[in-house]
């Protein structure tokens, strides 16, 4: 974890959030992933890819990649830290815990959070599809809400 002692944080900025912003964790491709999920915002082109390694319902390892904004990077970093080493049931409940941890978010930040959580859910769908014999490299979810601030609240799907 990044040492922020003695650093004056911007007003309203939490030290944990700043740490994840300055030094994101679990970022990049995970070669040992056995399920991959992608959430895509067709309108803006933003995406998040979740590389998840599941073993006996445990998230043994998890990484993510995105071309998204800093909010998406921070939320991806915090969420992957939270779920790594825990079971899938905990990971699914962690979505609500992340919402509580993040507090009041702008509509744009909410979409950033949703694209991260949707990519993780897509990786679980990919895992189940592979178990059921469906051949797919990854599972893709198209986002209904867009990060495009001019369209917040409209259904884009």
pLDDT confidence of residue 22: 82
Residue 154: pLDDT over 60:
no
What's the pLDDT tens digit per position in 85-104? 999 999 989 988 888 877 77
Give per-residue pLDDT as tens, 17-38.
778 888 899 999 999 999 999 9
From the candidate CATH numbers 1.10.3210.10, 3.90.1010.10, 3.30.750.24, 3.30.9.40, the one assigned to the domain spanning 15-142 = 3.90.1010.10
Element (H, E) at 119: helix 107-131
Burial letters 49-66, b for 16+ CB under 10 A, else e: bbbbbbeeeebebbbbbb
Asked if pLDDT for residue 120 goes beyond 80, the answer is yes
Residue 43 near residue 148 (C-beta atoms within 8 A): yes
CA distance readout (Å), 82 to 87, 139, 154 = 11, 22, 31
Whole-structure pTM value: 0.84
**Mean pLDDT score across all residues of the chain:** 85
Q: What is the pLDDT of residue 155?
A: 37
**pLDDT for the residue 1:** 52
Q: pLDDT for 48-97, tens place per residue? A: 999 999 999 999 999 999 999 899 999 999 999 999 999 999 998 998 88
């Amino acid at each position: 974890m990044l040492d922020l002692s003695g650093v004056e944080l911007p007003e309203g900025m939490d030290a944990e959030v700043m740490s994840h912003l300055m030094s994101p964790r679990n970022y990049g491709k995970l070669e040992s992933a056995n399920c991959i999920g992608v959430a895509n915002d067709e309108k803006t082109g933003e995406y998040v890819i979740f590389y998840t390694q599941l073993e006996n319902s445990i998230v043994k390892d998890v990484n993510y990649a995105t071309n998204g904004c800093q909010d998406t990077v921070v939320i991806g970093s915090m969420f992957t830290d939270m779920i790594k080493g825990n079971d899938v049931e905990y990971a699914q409940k962690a979505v609500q815990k992340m919402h509580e941890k993040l507090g009041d978010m702008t509509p744009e930040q909410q979409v950033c959070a949703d694209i991260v959580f949707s990519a993780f859910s897509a990786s679980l769908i990919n895992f189940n599809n592979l178990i059921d014999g469906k051949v797919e490299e990854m599972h893709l979810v198209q986002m209904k809400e867009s990060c495009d601030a001019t369209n917040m609240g409209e259904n884009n799907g």
